[in-house]
């Protein structure tokens, strides 16, 4: 904890030093020499590296806290009779144990297959145990900012229809004994289905036979890294064909709140205009999302008083802010280029992510037998869609 606070204070001091250096080396024409500009850019890069190191330490602290949790709970109730299990279905200890025995071993005893029958799907795979599925979901949230900011639902069917209010009724002043005006709300609906996302993981037979090797943890990490990246890209740029409809889609995505005057740069006034292009009810929980390159350009901007817009956060666990709203980065947001939607501002709880229940694993025994490896197929069914366009605005660069 003290190390993280120290790193944040160092980052803040580095940024203060960078600002003072730039102010001291600005010429009469408002620019710096090439040598001074290069020095300033290196100072900004040091600030960014400090941010990455702080995030790495916070992640390490979270893992340490998880590993230090008790591995067992004290007995506070009446012991169960032998053979009894309070949980049912895929949440039972017998199912979890049988699942990982089936994943590790090519030859499995009949009683293990009997235990797995409750989680067998139509294609011959096994649905992951309930507790492990929760672990996968948590791991995906660490890799995918959308799962932290969006509204995530779980559905057991392939399609779900969501009612959306399109317009509101109004009241009117009337004379005594005059007829009451009719003004009804109108409603539409948004359909969320399920698209299949899959990956394959290969593990050597030596590792599978090594009892020290933590296969569940390894698969969880790899599954999160691959699936998380594919999900986030689709949630931003997906076209709705074979994948979710991204929030930047021309139709069905965020609204264009502002078009910049330039095709390569943004101004502080345009950031303010984008902020107020979003209606006040949505601004309360709104966030900025942009590419790292855009943040680098934004960090160099000043307001009318000569103060920098960007102020790095020195609070533990708090994101950096612009106009007092949190800022998140994603490599899938476009950079500053003609016609690109470079800055997103809105309430992402109106982007719905629908998980169809049950992530699936399959073990492939023969496909890679010649190389001494075993393949594992991992798949999920998920969809995402912005259900209310006015809740998110984007700044588009001049075409």
pLDDT of residue 11: 85
Strand-pair partners of 201: 376
Q: What is the pLDDT of residue 116?
A: 42
Whole-number Cα distances in Å, 54 to 20, 184, 283, 286: 23, 53, 28, 24
Per-residue pLDDT at 123: 43
pTM of the model: 0.64
pLDDT at 111: 46
Residue 282 and residue 391 in contact, taking contact as beta carbons nearer than 8 Å: yes
Spatial contact of 317 and 58, defined as CB atoms under 8 Å apart: yes
CA distance 114 to 99: 11
Q: State the pLDDT at residue 194.
A: 86
Identify the pLDDT of residue 24. Answer: 87
**302, β-bridge pairs:** 308
Q: So what's the pLDDT on residue 133?
A: 61
Mean pLDDT by 10 residues, the chain (399 residues): 79 86 84 87 87 82 76 58 56 66 56 44 48 62 79 78 66 82 70 86 78 72 84 93 93 94 92 94 94 90 78 70 89 94 96 83 80 84 90 95
């Amino acid at each position: 904890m003290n190390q993280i606070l120290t790193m944040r204070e160092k980052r803040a001091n580095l940024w203060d030093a960078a600002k003072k250096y730039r102010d001291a080396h600005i010429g009469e024409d408002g620019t710096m020499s090439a040598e001074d500009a290069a020095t300033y850019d290196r100072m900004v890069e040091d600030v960014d590296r400090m941010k990455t190191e702080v995030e790495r330490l916070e992640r390490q602290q979270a893992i340490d806290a998880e590993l230090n949790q008790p591995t067992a709970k004290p007995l506070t109730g009446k012991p169960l009779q032998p053979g009894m299990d309070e949980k049912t279905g895929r949440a039972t200890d017998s199912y979890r144990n049988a699942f990982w025995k089936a994943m590790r071993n090519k030859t499995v005893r009949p009683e293990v297959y009997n235990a797995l029958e409750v989680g067998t799907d139509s294609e011959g795979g096994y649905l992951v145990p309930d507790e492990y599925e929760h672990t996968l979901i948590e791991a995906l949230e660490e890799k995918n900012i959308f799962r932290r900011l969006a509204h995530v639902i779980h559905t057991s069917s392939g399609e779900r229809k969501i009612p959306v209010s399109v317009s509101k009724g109004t009241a009117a002043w009337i004379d005594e004994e005059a007829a009451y005006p009719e003004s009804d709300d109108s409603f539409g609906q948004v359909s969320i289905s399920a698209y299949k996302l899959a990956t394959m993981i290969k593990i050597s037979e030596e590792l599978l036979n090594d009892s020290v090797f933590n296969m569940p943890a390894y698969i969880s990490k790899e599954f999160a890294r691959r699936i998380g990246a594919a999900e986030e890209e689709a949630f931003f740029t997906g076209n709705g064909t074979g994948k979710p409809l991204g929030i930047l889609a021309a139709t069905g995505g965020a609204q264009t709140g502002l078009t910049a005057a330039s095709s390569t740069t943004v101004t502080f006034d345009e950031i303010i205009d984008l902020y107020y292009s979003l209606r006040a009810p949505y601004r309360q929980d709104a966030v900025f999302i942009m590419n790292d390159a855009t943040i680098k350009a934004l960090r160099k901007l000043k307001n009318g008083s000569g103060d920098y817009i960007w102020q790095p956060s020195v609070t533990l666990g708090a994101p950096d802010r612009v106009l007092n709203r949190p800022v998140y980065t994603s490599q899938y947001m476009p950079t500053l280029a003609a016609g690109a939607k470079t800055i997103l501002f809105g309430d992402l709880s109106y982007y719905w992510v629908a998980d169809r229940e049950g992530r699936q694993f399959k073990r492939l025994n023969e496909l890679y037998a010649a190389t001494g490896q075993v393949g594992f197929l991992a798949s999920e069914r998920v969809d995402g869609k912005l259900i209310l366009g006015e809740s998110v605005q984007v700044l588009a660069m001049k075409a």
